[in-house]
Chains A and B, each alone.
Chain A
Amino acid sequence: MRTVIFFLLAVSLVVLQTTILQFGPGWFRAPDLVFILVSFIAYRFDWLRGLMLVFGCGWMMDVVAASSPGVFVFEYLLVFLALSVLAKNSPVKESDYQIPLVAWFIT
């Protein structure tokens, strides 16, 4: 269920990224929402579901944005792998690190 919800979220973010956020003024640097989602997936999902979601994100971005299909899939999968390895082998998941990180993020 969570995977489906995140897939729909990914679809929404791809659509938002390629429509609304393109209308901002020149000085407005639109955040790469899909990239943030990929990072979050790498941090929260297991390998199989994470790979499926990230592949879906890359696929959709390839379709709507890439001039050469495959670039986004490759990029997102690499990012996912790198972040997954980092997240699973680092102590960041522990609450001792998370609380200061959340506080830093909020401020």
Chain B
Amino acid sequence: MNTQAKDRKSRAKPLRFRTLLLFLLILSLCLVLFASTLGGRFGAFHQMTLEALGPLQSAVSRVTAEVGRVWDSYIDLVHVRQENVRLKTLLVAYEEELAKYRESYATYLRLQEELSFRQATDFPPLTARVIGRDPAFWFHTIIVDRGETDGVMEGMVALTAQGVVGQVIQVSSNYSKILLAIAPSSAIDVLIQKNRVRGILKGAGQDGYVLHYVLKKADVGRGDHVVTAGIGGLFASGVPVGVVSDVQRQKRGMFLEIAVEPTVDFQRLEFVQLNLSLQQSVSQERIVPGGR
């Protein structure tokens, strides 16, 4: 046992010595190399190495830059897509908002027109909102949200700024039914505004009006304005009713066949003005007998 241990020790000593020697040698080599390169000298070998590594670095840099460019393009594309989705959503929201503003503006214009008409009327007006239509008879009657409690009576006239709408035919406490002037059962005494030629305007449903009893010799043409005659006291004179759209001269008969287009758009009615002067006249009639 002792001899083996001695052998190991005797072999370990030169090994350790050689390792130490090698370490010192390499360390001194490092120091020599380091010292030789101090002062920033960039010798021929350095330059050769750089010339060898330079193309490799250049190639890798170029490929990396290209890959980076492609990647950036892809990222940009993703961003553009996201931006596109965001802008489309924004556009939809703005369009909805714009539609609301348009509607509000249209309402404002309509109400402004109604207000101007109301202020300019020479009768006591009562504004009524159209709350229902009668589609089965092609809009020949409408329902408004005013009734007896508001002073509405049968026979009262309904008007808008555009012209004659119709006449109240049925009344309940809070609602009334108006027969539109274009109903076939409706007839209004009218004048051709330019030459005061009289006639009877009858409703023709969806076709508007037909003007009857105008003699063939009368000077009537397309575009002539038709207004109320004011005969009978129901309508004031000069209220617009329609515009002549067609004139037919038949060989037989005394009268012209005149089609009149209503000035009022009956399909878009929202508000009407009821003429309360009838109620006043009735009240006065009632007061007079009572006063006696």
**Footprint of B on A, CB under 8 Å?**
11, 14-16, 18-20, 23, 47, 51, 59-60, 62-64, 67-71, 73-74, 77-78, 81, 85
* CB–CB A11/B56 < 8 A: yes
* CB–CB B37/A14 < 8 A: no
Our count of residue pairs bridging A and B at CB distance below 8 angstroms stands at 69
Contacts of A60 in B (CB 8 A): 49, 53
Contacts of B23 in A (CB 8 A): 81, 85
Known: A59-B45, A60-B49, A63-B46; 6 extra A-B contacts, CB below 8 A, are: A63-B50, A70-B33, A70-B36, A74-B34, A78-B30, A81-B23
Task: Tell me which of A51, A64, A77 contacts B53 (CB under 8 A).
Answer: A64
Which interface class (under 10, 10 to 19, 20 to 34, 35 or more) fits B? 20 to 34
B44 vs chain A, min Cβ distance (A): 12
Produce 1/0 per residue, B19-33, CB < 8 A to A.
100110011011101
The CA of A9 and the CA of B153, in the complex, are separated in Å by 106
Contacts of A77 in B (CB 8 A): 26, 29-30, 33
* CB–CB B34/A70 < 8 A: yes
* CB–CB B33/A74 < 8 A: yes
* CB–CB B57/A15 < 8 A: yes
Produce 1/0 per residue, B232-272, CB < 8 A to A.
00000000000000000000000000000000000000000
Contacts of B56 in A (CB 8 A): 11, 15
The CA of A68 and the CA of B34, in the complex, are separated in Å by 9
The CA of A78 and the CA of B30, in the complex, are separated in Å by 8
Q: What are 5 residue pairs bridging A and B, where the CB atoms are less than 8 Å apart in the complex?
A: A51-B26, A69-B40, A70-B35, A70-B36, A77-B29
Q: Which residue of B lies closest to A51 (CB)?
A: B26
Contacts of B30 in A (CB 8 A): 73-74, 77-78
**What 5 A-B pairs come out closest when comparing CB atoms?**
A70-B37, A69-B37, A74-B34, A19-B60, A70-B34
* CB–CB A70/B38 < 8 A: yes
Q: Say if the beta carbon of B68 comes within 8 Å of chain A.
A: yes
Contacts of A47 in B (CB 8 A): 22
B8 vs chain A, min Cβ distance (A): 16
Q: Say if the beta carbon of B41 comes within 8 Å of chain A.
A: yes
Contacts of A81 in B (CB 8 A): 23, 26-27
A37 vs chain B, min Cβ distance (A): 16
Contacts of A68 in B (CB 8 A): 37-38, 40
* CB–CB B60/A20 < 8 A: yes
